[in-house]
Structure formats: structure tokens, C-alpha cells
Structure 1
């Protein structure tokens, strides 16, 4: 099936979605909203896709992310790691002759099973655009943080940590919730948390936030930063154990990316922030070109 060089691409996450009109590899129009997969039923998608075309152009469309999951439009089988652009393009699930869903990638290892949907487009796009080397360690912070080892330009293996989700749960429930209402910044309290989190006694360290409050050792204004540092520090330390002094390429927005960069630097690694939007556009364009 031939896909023209002008097309629509949708990065359809659990909570949000981003739509791009791409012309010869350049974004000429885009929109972002909160109509993620979690807010929709399979019956909603045809009308949503028609609405996107009405607003952005009556063009072929590639959909990536949770749209292809069990909570999305239809479940698309994962391709197995190691995986590159060709594997994703060959695994496209065509809803109709002009609409296809990009598959995710799976680690089919009974001892360490793992899955991703949506991140694979950014990862491979980052390599294709020359934003990262073909052999590199990448980190995609978020609700479910991905740590990915790229080898020869392909996703070789990866690990998912629910670091962001744990922080959200702590903020919303339990004994620490009232203390974690402040902003998270990469200051002294955060870095202290990173170093403590690296010791891996995470459950005890988290209760220490409560004890520090009761005994007057820490102001609650710093509690959220410290808790974030504990969680991110434990996550980063586990990954850096595999590669001492590693250089990590971080695909994230500047706010979250800065936190991970600070944690990586604090624990002896080095890092570089990569434009995740540019990486997605490069990756989805390469998938499209595979059929052009």
C-alpha cells in the first residue's frame, strides 16, 4: 500500500493525543487535546478520525500509541525486540485503505517481559534524525518511564519503571498526600532525595518524609521535591548499575527531563535532553516512507 508524502499522524496516548499534518517530513499544522484512549470507547474512534480529517485535511493517517492497545480502537499485535523501522512498518494494522495503526514493541522474555506502545516511534525517530547515536541508552520519563538500549539503530531491549505513577499515587492517597502538594524542582531537596533513593531502601526513605515533618526537620514546601528525588533516584540508580558512568539521552519535555538529568548527573552519569516531538515526527515519517 502506498502512503503519500503528505499525511496525518496521531500520537494517541492514554490521557492526551497530538495530531500532526506532515508534508515532506515537516509539520505544517498540529493540535493537542485531552481525548486520550482512556476517555474513549472503540465505537468513538471512527467519528474522531473523521473529525481530525475534517479539521486537518482529508489525508491518509498513521496512528501510534494506546490506540492500538486493549483500551484503544483495536488491539494490534506487538513486534518483537530487537525491532527497527522496517519491523514497525511491516506490522502496521490497516483499519481501512487510508488508516493504519503502528504496532508496539515487546520483550518476549519470560524472565523479564516488557511492552511499549508509542514510545517506539520516538526512539527510532531519534536515531533516524541523528539526534542520538545508533548505539545508545535512552530514557523516556513519564508515568511509565522507559529505559531503552539501542543497538545498530534498533530497539534491542528495554525496561519499564512505573516511577511517575508511584509518585502520583503518593500524592493522591495515603499518609504523605498532604505533604506532597508543593512544586517539584531540581534543587537541594530533590538531589538529597536522589542520593537517598539510590540506597534502595525506598519504603523506609518515603516514611522518613513523614518523620521529618513530625520532628520539624523538613519544611513541607520541599517534601514533594524530596519524594520525587527518592523515586527517580532509585530508578536511575538501578539503570546506572548496568552501565557505570553511562551517557543517557533523555526524550522528554524540559521540566521532567531536567529532573532526570539532575538525577543522572548526581549519581555519576551524564545526559543530554532530546526533543521528543522532533523524534516522533522523524519516526512516523520514516514509517510512512517505508510504504511510499
Structure 2
């Protein structure tokens, strides 16, 4: 089935990416810092009209935090196990040409988890042949997602606040003055990964302060070490003694997580986010048109 042109929007908390999609390929892109956190409740229709004015008067599919309680309209979660067809069957329609993709929810033994937006990329990666139908997937970010894919369905997932914790440490508190340097995937980062794998996170983080006071580590390496501690703790909790991890990630985060996974005896296989998102959102469009 040929999918007619449409607009796909990945509308997150702090930014927005809109794509004109033709035949499953990106024909044009608009990027904006206008995330849902800075979009007034009564401004979404106007923002969407402006996007259509740039990319064409086309049907629109939106994913991400635009469907949350702080977005345009709540798109209820789909409980896992779920695949792309389950998501496509439960769109929230704004009008007959505009819909929001639901997120996913997971509950087990009193524990709950949710995601919005990542499900399109992660399932899209499988549809695009970037990852196998049975795999452990990771999408790092402010809130890192770890997903078990079984038979092409999301069957379980865990969210770790790894990136947000690092931002909080950099933004204030006793460690902040030491964490100003850029993070690099070098020796200090790998040392931090091995420390984080002990999963004594609170003590490991205070050790950064102690190393500064006692002159045991150059402050230029402190940010890399701290990042390694946090990412190492996150990775160690997921891969045990080593496992293949399919990273759906780009740029520095892909490099850092791949380094951490391999430091802890896993194998990292990296694929890009944008192509995965387009594959996922195109299939949703195909199934819902």
C-alpha cells in the first residue's frame, strides 16, 4: 500500500520536529524549540496551522508529550504487550485529519512505567530492519528507556532518570563546581562506569567530592567520571554479565552508552533515531488511513 504524503510531528517537552513524509521518506523538516512545556494550551491549533503552512496542507500524526497531561490532548496509554498495530488502533483524533499517537504503559507487581514518543522510534527500528524482532533496546536521554522486544512487540520496559540526575548534579549541590567540563568517553568515563556498576550510587557520587578534596582526580575529569558512574549504574542493572543491546540513539549519547555497555562486557549495536521514527510513524499512518 502506497502511503499518501502526510506530516509527522515528534513533539516533546522541550523541542519539536516536524517532517513532511512522502513514500516513507523525509521530504522536508522543520525543527523548533517550541516544546509542550512552552506551548500554551490554546496555542496548539495555531502552531499546527503554521506547520501546515510550511510543509503542506496535509494529514498530521503527532507523537510524544503532545498527548500527555501537559500537552494538547491526553492520548490514553496502550498497555503492553503491544506492537505498532495496537498503537495505530488507538489514536486520539483532534479532527478528521489530525491525530495523536498514544504512549505505552507497563505494570508488574505493583510497579508502573510509561513512555510517550519513544515507542514510535523503538518499534520503528524493528520495522526498518535496524533491530531484530527479539531484542533488548535502549534509547538514552533525559529519561533513558530500556525495552524488551519479543516477536516485534514491546513486552516490558524500564525508565531510568539517568540524564536528569546528571543535569541536577551539574545544576546545583556540592558537586556542581566540579562538573563544568565536557563529558568524554575516555578513561575517566570508563573508570566511572566500573564504579557505577557496583550500584552503590549515593556513595560513589560522594566519592567525586572526596577525590576533589584529597587531590585524587583532576577536576577536568570529574564530569566524565560522574557521567560514567550514572550510566554505568543504569547499564549494569540491565545487562548483568553482558548482553547485546540495540541502541536507538545518535551523537554523543550513543557513544557514551556504547562505551559503557562494552566496558561492562556487553555488545552495543547502534542505529539512528530519525529513520526509526519515520518508519514507525509511516506504518501507523498506513494502518490508520
Fold shared per TM-score above 0.5: yes
TM-score band, normalised by shorter chain = over 0.9
Rounded Cα–Cα distance in structure 1 between residues aligned with 2:200 and 2:261: 19
My pick for the range that moved more, 246-255 or 138-147, is 246-255
1:210 and 2:212 aligned: no
Aligned to 1:247: 244
CA drift at 1:291: 2.4
- Counterparts of 1:225 and 1:18, CA distance in 2: 29
Counterparts of 1:156 and 1:285 in 2: how far apart (Å)?
22
Contact 1:136–1:248 (CA under 8 A) maintained in structure 2: yes
Aligned-CA RMSD value: 1.3
Question: Where do 5+ consecutive residues of structure 2 fail to align?
Answer: none
Is the Cα–Cα contact under 8 Å of residues 139 and 249 in structure 2 kept in the other structure? yes
Question: Which residue of structure 2 aligns with residue 21 of structure 1?
Answer: 20
Preserved contact between residue 245 and residue 269 of structure 2 (Cα < 8 Å): yes
With normalisation by structure 1, the TM-score equals 0.97
2: CA distance, partners of 1:78 / 1:108: 12
Aligned residues: 289
Counterpart in the other structure of 1:290: 287
Contact 2:3 2:282 in 1 (8 A): no
Equivalent of 1:274, from 251, 257, 271?
271
Deviations 1:179-233 (A, max 9, x none): 1000000000000000000001111111111111111111111000000000000
Given that 1:10 and 1:61 are in contact with CA atoms closer than 8 Å, whether structure 2 keeps it comes out as yes
Cα deviation code 1:255-276 (max 9, x no counterpart): 1011000000000100111111
Contact in 2 for aligned 1:4/1:60 (Cα 8 Å): no
Distance of 1:88 and 1:248 partners within structure 2: 24
Contact conserved, 1:14 with 1:38, CA < 8 A, in 2?
Answer: yes
The DSSP-based 3-state class of the residue aligned with 1:174 is coil
Give the superposition deviation at 1:41. 2.1
What is the Cα deviation at residue 155 of structure 1?
Answer: 0.7
Write the distance in 1 (CA, Å) between the matches of 2:162 and 2:81.
24
After TM superposition, list the pairs within 5 Å mapping 1:44-55 onto structure 2.
Answer: 44-55=43-54
**CA distance, structure 2, for counterparts of residue 226 and residue 108 of structure 1:** 34
- Deviation sequence 1:92-137 (CA, Å, 0-9, x none): 0000010000000000335221000000000110000100000000
Question: Which residue of the partner structure matches residue 170 of structure 2?
Answer: 171
Deviating beyond 4 angstroms after TM superposition, the runs of 4 or more aligned structure 1 residues are none
Task: Tell me if structure 1 keeps the 8 A contact 2:79–2:105.
Answer: yes
For 2:201 and 2:107, the matched residues in 1 are separated by 29
User: Match for residue 36 of structure 2?
Assistant: 37
- Kept in 2, the 8 Å contact 1:11–1:118? The answer is yes
CA deviations 1:45-64 (Å, max 9, x no partner) are 00000000001100000000
- 2:82 corresponds to which residue? 83
1:235 & 1:245 partners in 2: Cα distance?
13
Alignment-derived partner of residue 116 in structure 1: 115
102-111 or 143-152: bigger deviation:
102-111
Q: Distance in 2 between matches of 1:89 and 1:194?
A: 39
SS in 2 for 1:257: helix
Give 1:161's aligned residue. Answer: 160
Q: CA deviation at 1:4?
A: 5.5
Any idea what SS the aligned residue of 1:113 has? strand
